[in-house]
Each structure stands twice: as C-alpha cells, then as structure tokens.
Structure 1
Amino acid sequence: MRSNSLSKISSILFSIFLLFSCSSDLNFDQVNDFKIEPVFVANLAYFNIPANRLIDDGGTNVYPDVRDFDVFKDSFFNERLKRADFDFEIENNINRAFLVNMLLLNEENKVLQTISFAVPAYNGTSNVIKYPTEVFENTRLDLLKQTQRIGFVVIIAAGPPLNNQSEGNLRLRSSATAYLVIE
C-alpha cells in the first residue's frame, strides 16, 4: 500500500515538474537561411592506348579522341556549381615522349580551352606523373559550363618508330571534384 502511494505521489510530482519546463518560440524563418554545400567526386576521363595502336614512322603524329560531355545540360547542376577541380594522372611505359592535350569544346566544336600535359618517355622505371590540379572558378568556370565535348589529342614526339610489335601503354586517369552551393 505504501509503495502504491509513493508511486502516485512521484507521478504527480513529475507531472507538475513537466508543467514548469522551459520552452521557446519556434522560428520557422530559419528555413530561409538553409544552405548546404555538397561535394561530388566522379571519374572524368580514362584511356589506355597500347603502343601498337600508335603506329608511326618516327615523326610527329596525332592520335585524336572526342567524347560527349553533357554534364552541364542539367540546369540544377549548372546553376549551383561554384567550383570544379580536375585531377590528372598519366602513366607512360612506351619508349617515346608524348604531349597530351585535353580540349574543352562547345556545341560547335570550337575549342574553349586547352590543357596540356608533357609526358616523358619511359626509361625502365615507374613513369606515373600526377599533374597539378586544374581549378575552375569564376571566368574559367563559365568557360567550363559551356563545354559539350572533351577531346584528347595525343601528339607523339620524335623518336624510334612505333609499329604493330611495339610494347607498352599510354594510360590517362582523371577525376573531377564538383563543389555545389544549394540555398
């Protein structure tokens, strides 16, 4: 009986305590200040060209490749993108030097910007080159947003001729980091 009375008294005191708890006014205007800044990382481009596909006569030759890049057709992404970083890594195990040009092309295939990478010839040791990050902000970002295609031009430097028996590969790996602001 005493336990039951003690339980009732405790319940009443707890209920009275809840009546005097603190509260504050809710401010729903805070929704107007909502801002998130997501960051996305994705593969940008990749190629792996075997040396036997780069048949030449020892002079300068070009290996072209163009790919669609329709990321900026999406207005949500286009309007909220504030910065983009491109990272590139090229591995060369062919006994020839190369110049790799990445071309940003608009819808009329006009070159908006060219990013060049000098690739030294393979000399028997690891030949993986990580290039400085290409940062797109402000005016440069506006040019990037006009990009509809990405083209790669591989220029083969002078040296010993490559043929269908040549060994090795020229490999490019790249990624893009996109910084968005959503308000």
Structure 2
Amino acid sequence: MLLLTKKYSPYFLFILSSFFMLSCVKDVDFDQAETLKIESVVDVSLLYFDLQASQVGFIPNNDVNPYSVQDTTKLEIFSKPFLEENLKEATFDFEFLNSIPRIFNAKIVLYDNAYNELDEIEILVDSPKITNTTSYNETEIQKIKNMAYMGIELMLMPGAPMLDPNSSGELLLKSSGTFFMSIDAD
C-alpha cells in the first residue's frame, strides 16, 4: 500500500495532472465498425472408421468379388445459416492407413438434404499410407454450403491374398475439414 505524506502529496498531484494534460488522445472513428471484417479458420473431424482384415475375411470369394462397405453421416454443421453466409473456402483432408495386403478403392460422396450427389472424391488406397487433400475455393464453395451428408463407399479390389476370418491388418480412415470463414459487420 502506498502511503503519501503531506510533504509529497503536492508533487504527486502535480505529476499526475501533468500526465493527464500532456497525454495524447486519438480521435475515435466510430464508422470503422461498419467496415469490420473478422476472418477465422475452423477445423472439424469428419469421417472415421477402422476396418479389420478379419471382417473382410468373412466375405466369400473376396479374392475375385469386390467387397463394398457403405456408410453415410449427417453433418449438422452445414445446416446452420451462419455457415451459409460466411463460408468462403473449405479443404477436406483424408488419411488412409492400410496394413491389409490388398488394394482398396474409396469413394467419398457429398450429398444435399435430398441425397442428390454434389461431388465425388475417389481415392485409390494402394500403399500403406495415402493422403488426399481436396479444396473448394470461392467458385466451388456452393457445393459445400449445400452439403448435408457425407458418404463413403469402400471397395476391396480383386486380387490376392485371399482374406479369411483369421487375417490380420486393418484399414483406418481419419478425415477432417478446414473451413475458412469471413464475417463482415454489414
């Protein structure tokens, strides 16, 4: 706690008042609030699965007949009007980790509310690690704004070795979306 004696009190008041009288004050332009623009980046996890080789091994003749897995996920984030108004760009990242000694073909499909196909991303999983980045710029962003569902169809390509219920290995998919937003004060 600062104690001021009567001897120092007038000096303190003089210094304090000098500070306030000599300090600079910049004019505030309140019209700047109308031109305010906030840009942000939002990362969201999208699709994830872990397919075991032993599950594929239950499919008869999996060395010649393609095995297909399909799944569709509703993406609630795209039903918000905020996204419709402010989304400028988007990027989807897909990573496949494959320790099953077979090749897979993955097809990621973007659907609207009525399950109409908006876009399709095809990825051949022919090595232990496959990454894919798909971007949507301002001219293509309407596809993303209209998206309500994301689906995946996974197909085991014909070949060897034949998988059985005792086969080891897995196919793992991790994916995310990065959304670039621009929020205007207008």
- TM-score, normalised to structure 1's length? 0.85
Q: Are 1:61 and 2:63 matched, yes or no?
A: no
Q: CA deviation at 1:61?
A: 2.7
**Residue from 63, 79, 94 that aligns with 1:88:** 94
Q: CA deviation at 1:16?
A: 4.9
Aligned residue pairs total 174
The 8 Å contact of residues 43 and 176 in structure 1, kept in 2 or not, is answered as yes
Q: What is the aligned-residue RMSD (CA, Å)?
A: 1.9
CA distance in 1, matches of 2:117, 2:13: 79
**Structure 2: tracts of 5 or more residues without a match:** none
**Aligned residue in 1 for 2:43:** 41
**Aligned residue in 1 for 2:83:** 77
Q: Are 1:118 and 2:124 matched, yes or no?
A: yes
Give the counterpart letter for 1:35 in structure 2: K
The 8 Å contact of residues 99 and 117 in structure 1, kept in 2 or not, is answered as yes
CA distance in 2, matches of 1:96, 1:29: 63
1:36 aligned counterpart, secondary structure? strand
CA distance in 2, matches of 1:109, 1:12: 74
CA distance in 1, matches of 2:42, 2:73: 21
The 8 Å contact of residues 89 and 129 in structure 1, kept in 2 or not, is answered as yes
**Residue from 100, 121, 125 that aligns with 2:106:** 100
- TM-score, normalised to structure 2's length? 0.84
CA distance in 1, matches of 2:70, 2:21: 76
- Flag the 1:107–1:16 CA change in 2: closer, same or farther, 3 A: closer
Q: CA deviation at 1:15?
A: 5.0
**Residue from 12, 19, 30 that aligns with 1:28:** 30
CA distance in 1, matches of 2:17, 2:50: 74
The 8 Å contact of residues 68 and 149 in structure 1, kept in 2 or not, is answered as yes
CA distance in 2, matches of 1:118, 1:110: 24
2:68 aligned counterpart, secondary structure? strand
CA distance in 1, matches of 2:16, 2:125: 76
Q: CA deviation at 1:182?
A: 1.1
Greater share of strand residues, 1 or 2?
Answer: 2
**Aligned residue in 1 for 2:152:** 152
The 8 Å contact of residues 56 and 162 in structure 1, kept in 2 or not, is answered as no
**Structure 1: tracts of 5 or more residues without a match:** 122-126
**Aligned residue in 1 for 2:176:** 175
Q: CA deviation at 1:44?
A: 1.4
- Flag the 1:21–1:112 CA change in 2: closer, same or farther, 3 A: closer
CA distance in 1, matches of 2:33, 2:168: 61
CA distance in 1, matches of 2:60, 2:124: 19
